[in-house]
Chain A
Amino acid sequence: MEEALMALAAALAVGVSALATAWAQSRIGAAGAGAVAEKPELTGTVIVLLAIPETMVILGFVVAAMILFAE
């Protein structure tokens, strides 16, 4: 039972943070595509902005790894 709960907690940690990242990236991606179409010199900045929300799912992954593997 405890193992199942740990697995659920890890899944939630990754899943919810992945959804949050996806939502944020969809908004940034749409705005970024518009910005790059008008000003191609902003490509570098837009790539950086697009990659920023990924920290959320990475942190979720770290938490999940600690739940599953830490003693």
Chain B
Amino acid sequence: MSKVQIAGPRGLMEEALEFLEEAGDFQTEAESTGLSEKDMERLRRPPAEGRAAAEKAVLDALRRKFHELLGCLPRAGEEGGPLEPSRAVRDLAGTVDGHLADCRMLLERKKALEKEAEDLRRHSPFLRTVGRLLEGVRESGHLEFVALSLRRPEDLPRVRELFSRMTKDRFELISERAPDGTEVLLAVLPREEAGAVRAALHEERLPELSFPSRFARMKLPEKVAYVTERLSQIRSEWETVNGELLIFSRRWRPVYREARDWLLGRLALLGAATSVFRTDMCFLLYGWMPSEDAEPLRVDLERRFGGAVVLREEEIREEDVDRVPVLLRNPPYFQPFELFTRLLPLPRYTSYDPTPFLGIFFPLFFGMMLGDAGYGLLLMGVSLWMAKRFRARPKVRAAFRILLVSALYAVVFGALYGEFLGGLGHNLFGLEPLWMSRREAVLPMLAFALAVGVFHVLFGLSLAFVTALRRGRGKEAAYRLFSVLAIAAATLFAASALGLLPELLQKPLLLTVLVLVPLMVITGGLLTPLELLKSIGNIISYARIMAIGLASVLLAYAANRLGGICGDIVVGILVGALLHAVNIVLGVFSPAIHSIRLHYVEFFGKFLEHGGKKFEPLHKPQEREAETWKKP
């Protein structure tokens, strides 16, 4: 990141800010100027800021109105109009309130129609069924219809018994199963008995279906006809409202959209202008930008303003270091891994961007844990397909690109361990391990996992040593160096004690550790032996590479074994496939979480300093419209 200063004639200030906004790689900052407080006060010119604040308040209120209006209009006619935006904004300011009121009214009408249709549709399976039952019943002035909907068809005998008791067998009851699964009953009974029967049904908690108040007083056959007719009316009214909104949208949406975009740009400019220092003659702007972009921007400014606006890179002072913003910028291979880096607070400017380390070690650990060529190939296929399918969603695409690389490592380690869907590769194609079989060589795998841990932790500590050295912190650098040496010596001592190295080395190695620990206490403080123990604990934590891997391979073998003992080839394949599917799901989540944890806790803890400020350059803002609009 470079600290830059941009200066030019006062009259070109807005144009220069617009240009920087278009370029989109410059972040203004008025704090790290190096000017004295007195100079800063003199150069800020409060009256100009006051006017800008008033303009900003007016434009912001307009922006909110435009945004609301655009949110309730359907997407139609997206092409811009021929109007000049600043003039259009002035004209639209007078019409927006009226348009907003019309638009709100149409939306409310549409919502009311949708709600009514929803209510009616809730009753329609019942009424359709009752309508069919009514067809066979002759209407008479002395008879009354009672319709019920039973959720539990087994209640039918109880209802029949109730009707029989209340009407002394003077009733007719017909029933049919409705499309929603309920049992619909239609009872015909003498009008004078109807009130008592309804009360009894209510007591038995089998009430008649209640209808909206509008048609509660209608007779049953009338209700059936009314619902059908009203639904068709609602559809037609809804189409009319829709049509009006579409016409309105085609006419006004492009104009309001263009005006809103202009307002956003103008508001961003006004915001940026508050951090500009100015005199009557010139303006002065301080800020940050990526170092590789500084020279091209200087050339562009010179060409655009004919040398009137100049850019100069300044030295970053010690007191500026904590204010330098951080931008993660990695080569294409590492870019997807920024997803993991962004899950934690950003690293400080003086620390490292951990993304490349994640890009190297994450898939390696994942592959070591999953280590099955069959699973790896399957996951590669799935991730390729998903990355293609979710091309428009960068985060999902990045996640599947990470999975693709990790699956590739799983194929490589699968070949080394001789695993293809567990032991299936060995049984079918005679696949043999190129290196060692994890299922049999448990202790060698443990030693290998711990060796990887030693390397990873020592690498993290070495990075901390380099950081301390670069920042000129001699004592801390010495402490980090002693830590690296002490851990290396302790590891070699452990290897020697286990018989992996000559026994003769034990004494000198122990002596080395005993000399280094006091040196660590002198350079790092009294708690440093504890740090040493913590680092050894961190290394042991890498045993999970072996443990997760062993669990995965044993599950794959179990899947094949269970499939094999089924006795039927089809059932066997089904059982085996099901268990392998479970293992693949576990085989994605478990190694991914453990690999990321090894980075976050064991590795990053050694050298990464969090608390970086995000780089937020001036750029044309985009505002997403809330979708209040539903497609018909």
Contact = CB atoms under 8 A, between A and B. Distances in A.
B540 A59 contact: yes
A47 B592 CA distance: 12
Contacts of A61: 543, 547
B194 interface: no
Interface in B577-610: 593-594, 596-597, 600-601
Contacts of B541: 55, 58
Given A62-B547, A65-B446, A69-B442, A47 B540 contact: no
B626 interface: no
Contacts of A66: 443
Interface residues of A, number: 17
Contacts of B343: 43-44, 47
Given A51-B601, A65-B443, A65-B446, A44 B543 contact: no
Contacts of A65: 442-443, 446
Contact of A45 (B344, B443, B543, B593): B344
Nearest to A70: B443
Contacts of A54: 544, 594, 597
Contacts of B593: 47, 51
Interface residues of B, number: 17
Contacts of B543: 58-59, 61-62
B443 A69 contact: yes
A62 B446 contact: yes
From A43, A45, A48, name the one whose CB has the most chain B CB atoms within 10 angstroms. A48
A70 B547 CA distance: 16
Interface string A25-48: 000000000000000000111011
Contacts of B442: 65, 69
A51 B593 CA distance: 8
A62 B544 CA distance: 9
A47 to B, nearest CB: 7
Interface of B: 343-344, 442-443, 446, 537, 540-541, 543-544, 547, 593-594, 596-597, 600-601
Given A58-B544, A66-B443, 6 more contacts: A47-B593, A48-B597, A55-B537, A55-B544, A61-B543, A62-B446
17 contacts: A45-B344, A48-B597, A51-B601, A54-B594, A54-B597, A55-B544, A58-B540, A58-B544, A58-B547, A59-B540, A59-B543, A61-B543, A61-B547, A65-B442, A65-B443, A69-B442, A69-B443
